[in-house]
A and B are shown apart, each in its own frame.
Chain A
């Protein structure tokens, strides 16, 4: 069994363990989860140290590392050929950093779940199932396998929000579920279409292998998604463009883009803190990862054609999310909308298709992973104490919770792009790279970079307003003395969770090469793939 399989299936082991341990030992579940996620983090750290940054990945099997291929399903379907589904795993410069991020955020989420008291068995079991699915998504290189993990991810999330969530949890859970399903159902159609269009050059069978899908030579002439002699269209749109658009929408819901974002504020606000952390820290990144790995790599021709619109959506998401954040009065909702804005940078960076912007987008995903996880955790800290998040109900928290305020201030400044922290590098390079796009000739005009940069200004406005309104000034709380007593400063456990996240954001901000180095060749490889069609 390879390392990646170990990484993916360790949580299943934990799941089995949790289900087997009788409920009277329910205190032990969290320790099982903690140990497993710690091992996962160690394992992914080991992968990071063993990773060879000189290999590009993307469409070359030889460029992937820690590859595992096992034939999984083989069926002779007679006239329509042989069904070929592989258990195919591997990582390159795009997936490795996200794998590491996921392991880290999962650990944070387990730490944040320490005081969960409602049916612990089910909670930790679902959390571990989610863990498996997430790891699988970032490792899978067979589209069918990817889809399986992608769908498996939905189930635990639905229940985690729907059972352990806040007041309107059922509404939020169903909204989240339907939104994602809406995207993935159509994705399945495209997968099938791709399957019938692509042949494995070695066996001649149809295949779900993503790497084969990235090579135009493997497409059957005249097939639905074929490069040559393709006269198919849907509603007058060429088939390959339709494939791109449908896949894009599926992943864009996850990012999320405006206007497909409204599941996010509800899901984040209603979800319990650990699930918010996972949603913001990992789930949104699946959207960005999917667009890079699947939409652009499999449909580079369509991507080169549509990137103007993608970038526009990115800019709109940045500004729209930021303005919405400015209007919020619920702290958690504010951070949820700021996620929309920050993830807009990711889409803008990806669609600008320059080395700087794409690296910036990847970097922004990592940075946002650490920082949004920390931010949601910080909101959870306050909510745990007084069960309130309404910004106007607080003033002068700095007077009674100085440590907490310091952490909030650091997290806010890191998120608004203070140099020295990771978000700055991410956003700055998205802007610089996007600006450069017109010179490189990828078709993204410069004004988009300028409008995007306004998001950096607005993020300062809403974060600083919140700091000023909630944390500074004379202490005045809606709950009066009761709240003041309840609002004790951060505990050691809370600091143990927060400190590493912020320290990592700082480390990445000072030594960006930690992330840029492993991904650089993959970025160049992907750009080379698209270059032919620009």
Chain B
């Protein structure tokens, strides 16, 4: 027992990462024989335990630890692999475990009977491996590797139902858009390597890191590096204008959406920016804040009119990630991490709840042979009566998302919003626009999540069926959800339900803000927002439950929102079509110009040889032949003289004599 108790946090953290990898390998070898998902489940349970007991408990608020092993050497620089355990990384690792575990349990019921289930468990284990590895990577190169691997796992899971055309279109899109970000990450790595000669996070940003010591004579390069890393984070965390992949990624199984595309992977961008935070200078931070606020606002606007339950949640995720980005942009990355953690729980829960609803709707569709989309909230309604527990759990998550008091979301949203106001007031002027927009977004958030709840759970069931055969989900789905619901309440994070300053997550980080605290804001904003949320819900209630809908459903603004601002259409017409046209042009150039030139050269050579053959036949040989011909003709001519007749000979002799005489006479 003592041996187990003495396990070092480093060893434990490595096992946390390796266990899902082992599970992946075993399941890959077993193939179709590993249907139950037990292997994946055992791995993630052990990982969670190890992470909680031996890693988080040891390191959190304690002394950071790290270990480095050489990996390979190129020239004189050695590249390493290593584990870095500090407050940020152990928090992230534990969070991933704690979210992944309920999702695994939930999936057992949710994915039951799917013919490809063995692949599902395999991919899920692969994802956990990559995500856990990402969280504790000590150097950026290693982080980049896991960064791409999570993208790959996400690709596999989005396209899990690979016979569905929309699913395989979506996973292609997700991977390619993420690749754009990956390039940013890679170039960022290249910049840091060329300036500092190392990619080790501790060597770069640690207490006496090179980054803090070396005075760089190329500030432009460092700005560029910051922007490059942000590009990476933008793609992964679905920031405008690279957010387009996330709504489409909802084609994957809902349990996957909850784990990967809501709670963990998409938050990796925020995590990365927190890890390399010292790198950012004022300009880059401002860019981050601006992109964050644009994302938050646009996504909230698009969420207002979506009818697909998962798309609403997807845009909500994008919008919340925008909030986190703003927090990073203003320098409060502790607030961003706090919101990342709370958001992970309630958003995961929202998705799992949506999954339970979709599951029932799909059953309804199959048993009645209906032509409906089981994810369309227009087809739902009144489900509160059939799925009361699901309703309560989702309501808790919704309150948390809207930032209602007593929930975790209240704390973290306040942390971001209040800090943003303080930051803007410190800078003054146009900066104030950012927190004001975010306030509006917060109210919109309350409204759209209220709309979802009202449309799904209140009113009457809107699909015409003789008998509504919708039941509560089983316990293996409800229990994980209940666990997440508990984690969406305030006491998990802080005993003080109204002040975020006491939150445990917050106290793990010591971030020095560049702006002053303004006490009055800490009272006005929470109260104001809660009131505004209540008003938003009241309006929503009247519109969607009481059917007093005052708006034109087909107005331009509504269509603009429903079609996601036509951004996809725009990309399709410009980027996609553009590159395809360029590709076709390149191939035309290759075939016609370059190969044409080569073939032309070949033809030219052949022509040249034909000309020379002609010259050879008709000129060179012709000259020889005509010479021979001439000789022959001459001979032929003279032969005629030698005909053996005496009179002819005499005649010739006489003629010659005559010519001679004439010649003599004339000379």
Tell whether, in the assembled complex, residue B590 and residue A456 are in contact, meaning their CB atoms are under 8 Å apart: no
CB proximity to A under 8 Å, residues B42-81:
71-77
A356 and B163 contact, Cβ closer than 8 Å, known pairs A323-B583, A419-B144? no
- Minimum CB–CB distance from A446 to chain B (whole Å) comes to 8
Cβ of B627 < 8 Å from any Cβ of A? Answer: no
A356 to chain B: closest residue by CB: B74
- Minimum CB–CB distance from B368 to chain A (whole Å) comes to 24
Tell whether, in the assembled complex, residue A418 and residue B152 are in contact, meaning their CB atoms are under 8 Å apart: yes
Tell whether, in the assembled complex, residue A472 and residue B73 are in contact, meaning their CB atoms are under 8 Å apart: no
A517 and B163 contact, Cβ closer than 8 Å, known pairs A323-B582, A327-B583, A435-B187? no
- Minimum CB–CB distance from B609 to chain A (whole Å) comes to 14
A454–B176 alpha-carbon span in the complex (Å): 12
A173–B334 alpha-carbon span in the complex (Å): 65
Point out the residue from B76, B176, B189 that lies within 8 Å of A457, measured CB to CB.
B176
Cβ of A398 < 8 Å from any Cβ of B? Answer: yes
Tell whether, in the assembled complex, residue B584 and residue A468 are in contact, meaning their CB atoms are under 8 Å apart: no
A450 to chain B: closest residue by CB: B187
Q: Mark A387-406, 1 if CB is under 8 A from B, else 0.
A: 00000000010110000000
Tell whether, in the assembled complex, residue B190 and residue A513 are in contact, meaning their CB atoms are under 8 Å apart: no
Tell whether, in the assembled complex, residue A326 and residue B580 are in contact, meaning their CB atoms are under 8 Å apart: yes
Tell whether, in the assembled complex, residue A324 and residue B76 are in contact, meaning their CB atoms are under 8 Å apart: no
Cβ of B522 < 8 Å from any Cβ of A? Answer: no
Tell whether, in the assembled complex, residue A464 and residue B152 are in contact, meaning their CB atoms are under 8 Å apart: no
A324–B148 alpha-carbon span in the complex (Å): 25
Cβ of B625 < 8 Å from any Cβ of A? Answer: no
Cβ of B159 < 8 Å from any Cβ of A? Answer: yes
CB proximity to B under 8 Å, residues A473-488:
473-475
Q: Which residues on the B side are within 8 Å of A461 (C-beta)?
A: 176, 579
Point out the residue from B75, B146, B148 that lies within 8 Å of A523, measured CB to CB.
B75
Interface of B is mostly: helix
Cβ of B193 < 8 Å from any Cβ of A? Answer: yes
Cβ of B623 < 8 Å from any Cβ of A? Answer: no
A356 and B73 contact, Cβ closer than 8 Å, known pairs A473-B168, A474-B163? no
Cβ of A120 < 8 Å from any Cβ of B? Answer: no
Total interface residues on B, using CB and 8 Å? 49
B156 to chain A: closest residue by CB: A409
A258–B587 alpha-carbon span in the complex (Å): 12
- Minimum CB–CB distance from A52 to chain B (whole Å) comes to 16
Cβ of A320 < 8 Å from any Cβ of B? Answer: yes
Q: Which residues on the A side are within 8 Å of B598 (C-beta)?
A: 175, 262
Q: Which residues on the B side are within 8 Å of A429 (C-beta)?
A: 74
A191–B549 alpha-carbon span in the complex (Å): 87
Tell whether, in the assembled complex, residue A464 and residue B187 are in contact, meaning their CB atoms are under 8 Å apart: no
Tell whether, in the assembled complex, residue A428 and residue B75 are in contact, meaning their CB atoms are under 8 Å apart: no
Point out the residue from B74, B75, B175, B582 that lies within 8 Å of A464, measured CB to CB.
B175
Cβ of B194 < 8 Å from any Cβ of A? Answer: yes
CB proximity to B under 8 Å, residues A369-419:
396, 398-399, 413, 418-419
Cβ of A163 < 8 Å from any Cβ of B? Answer: no
A472 and B194 contact, Cβ closer than 8 Å, known pairs A326-B580, A356-B77, A420-B149? no
Give me 13 A-to-B residue pairs in the complex whose CB atoms sit less than 8 angstroms apart, sorted by A's number: A324-B583, A327-B583, A360-B74, A413-B152, A428-B144, A431-B190, A432-B189, A432-B193, A438-B194, A453-B186, A468-B171, A474-B165, A512-B71
Sort A-B residue pairs by CB-CB distance and give the 6 closest, nearest first.
Answer: A355-B75, A435-B190, A326-B583, A327-B587, A419-B145, A513-B72
Residues on A facing B (Cβ under 8 Å): 175, 178, 258-259, 261-262, 320, 323-328, 354-356, 359-360, 396, 398-399, 413, 418-420, 424, 428-429, 431-432, 435-436, 438-439, 449-450, 453-454, 456-458, 460-461, 464-465, 467-468, 471-475, 511-513, 516-517, 520, 523-524, 527
* Given A178-B602, A327-B584, 16 other A-B residues pairs in contact with their CB atoms under 8 A: A175-B602, A262-B598, A323-B579, A399-B163, A420-B145, A431-B190, A432-B186, A435-B187, A435-B190, A436-B194, A450-B187, A457-B179, A467-B172, A468-B168, A513-B71, A513-B73
